[in-house]
Amino acid sequence: MPENRPENRIFSGIQPTGNLHLGNYLGAIRNWVTLQDSFESIYCVVDLHAITVPQDPQQLRQSTREVTASLIAAGISPQRSILFNQSRVPQHSQLAWIFNCVARLGWLNRMTQFKEKAGKNRENATVGLFAYPTLMAADILAYRATHVPVGEDQKQHLELTRDIAQSFNMNYGVEFFPLPEPQIFGSATRVMSLRDGGSKMSKSEASDNSRINLTDDDNLIAQKIRKAKTDPDALPSQVEGLAGRPEAQNLVGIYAALADSDVETVLREFGGRGFGDFKPALAELAVAKLSPMGREMRRLLANPGDIDAVLDDGAARAEAIAAPIIEQVNEIVGFLGPVGRR
C-alpha cells in the first residue's frame, strides 16, 4: 500500500498566533516552500495547540486566516501541498488520546518547552500544555510522515515523537509507524530583534520596531531598518570581524538570506563601509523581496472566503489520508469497530 506507507512525506505545523514576521519567514517558511518540490508536503495551522494557553475565540479565528494567508503569500501552493487547520481533522485528537496512553509522565516531564511555558506556576498550567508533545506526535504520525522540518527548539519534541512511535510499535508488536526524521534547516537564518541583537525576533517583544512583519508596507519596512540598532564601526571584510557585534551580524545575516547569498559574499561587497551605506541597501532589498508578499497577503485577507476555501479543501484532503490510518490504529489497539469492519 504505497499510499499509506509514504517514503517522502513531510508534515509540519505552525501556531496561529498573530502576524508572521521576518524571523518566521527566513527561519522556517522559506524552507517549507523549497521542500514542496521534493516531498509530498502537509502543512498545518495548529489551532488545537494554540488553545493550550488562553485564546480569544474571535482572535484565534482571525489569526488562523492570517497565518494561512502568510503561508500562501510566501509561496506555499495550496494545490501542490495540503494546507489546513488542525481542528478540522478529528483524527489528530483521536490519535493524541491514544498517544497519551503510550507516552509516560517521565518523558513529558523532561520537555524543556513545557518548563519554559509553564514557568513557576506549574500547578496552574493546563493539562493540554503538558500533553502538547503527544498532540504534536499525533499530527505527524496520523499521516505516517517520514520527515519533519523543524527549528532547533522543536528537536526534543520530535525525539519524543520517535519514542512514542517506537513504543507503540513495540507494545502492539507491529511495525506500523515510521520513526520520522527531523529536518533541521541547515541554511535557516536565526533572525534576531532589530532592537537587540542578543534576542530572537519575536511577536511577543513589546516594540513593533523590533521586528518586520510580513504585513508591513514598504515605508514601514524601510523605516524599521533605518532605526535598527547598530554599532558605530564600519562592516568588516571577514566573517570573524562580526564576532562580538550581534547587531551587525544580524543585519548582514538578513541581507545574505534575502539575497540568497552568504555572509562572506555580502562582506566582500560591504566590508569597510558603514551602516549609512549598508542600511539603505538592506532596506531596498527587503522591500523588493517582502513587498510582493505583503501585497498578496492583504489581497487574501480582503477576501477571507478564498482563504476559507483553501482550508476546506486542505482539510478534506488531509482527512482522506489520516482516516484510513487511524482506522488501522483503532484495530491494532483493539477498539471494536462498526459491524462489517470487524
Distance from C-alpha of 306 to C-alpha of 304, rounded to nearest angstrom: 5
66 binds ligand TRP (CB under 6 A): no
49 binds ligand TRP (CB under 6 A): yes
71 binds ligand TRP (CB under 6 A): no
**Closest approach of Cβ 50 to ligand TRP, in Å?**
10
**Closest approach of Cβ 154 to ligand TRP, in Å?**
5
The residue at minimum Cβ distance from ligand TRP is 13
**Closest approach of Cβ 244 to ligand TRP, in Å?**
30
Q: What share of the chain is helix, strand, coil (3-state, %, to 5)?
A: 55, 10, 35
Active-site residue, 200 included = yes
Q: Which of 120, 203, 279, 289 is catalytic?
A: 203
Distance from C-alpha of 131 to C-alpha of 10, rounded to nearest angstrom: 22
Distance of CA 342 to the CA centre of its chain: 39
286 binds ligand TRP (CB under 6 A): no
Please answer whether residues 28 and 168 qualify as being in contact, where contact means their C-beta atoms are separated by less than 8 angstroms: no
Please answer whether residues 91 and 142 qualify as being in contact, where contact means their C-beta atoms are separated by less than 8 angstroms: yes
CA dihedral sign, ordered 326, 330, 332, 333: positive
Choice from 12, 85, 193, 210 touching ligand TRP (CB under 6 A): 12
* 147-150 β-sheet, strand order: 82-85, 40-45, 9-14, 147-150, 181-184
Residue closer to ligand TRP, measured from CB, 151 or 271: 151
Distance from C-alpha of 91 to C-alpha of 340, rounded to nearest angstrom: 21
Residue closer to ligand TRP, measured from CB, 13 or 78: 13
46 binds ligand TRP (CB under 6 A): yes
Q: Which residue has the cell 491494532?
A: 332
47 binds ligand TRP (CB under 6 A): no
Q: At what angle do helices 57-74 and 304-333 cross, to 10 degrees?
A: 100
Q: Which of 115, 200, 227, 279 is catalytic?
A: 200
Residue closer to ligand TRP, measured from CB, 222 or 322: 322
Distance from C-alpha of 131 to C-alpha of 8, rounded to nearest angstrom: 27
64 binds ligand TRP (CB under 6 A): no
Q: How many residues interact with ligand TRP (rule CB under 6 A)?
A: 12
The x, y and z cell numbers of residue 342, run together, are 470487524
Residue closer to ligand TRP, measured from CB, 148 or 194: 148
13 binds ligand TRP (CB under 6 A): yes
**Closest approach of Cβ 302 to ligand TRP, in Å?**
28
Indicate the pairing of strand 40-45 with strand 9-14.
parallel
- Which helix (DSSP H) or strand (DSSP E) does residue 22 occupy? helix 22-24
User: Per-residue x/- mask for ligand TRP, residues 119 to 158, rule CB under 6 A?
Assistant: -----------------x--xx-------x-x---x----
Residue closer to ligand TRP, measured from CB, 126 or 265: 126
Closest CA to 20 of 217, 212, 290: 212
Active-site residue, 224 included = no
Residues tagged active-site? 117, 200, 203
The residues that touch ligand TRP, with contacts defined as CB under 6 A, are 11-13, 15, 46, 49, 136, 139-140, 148, 150, 154
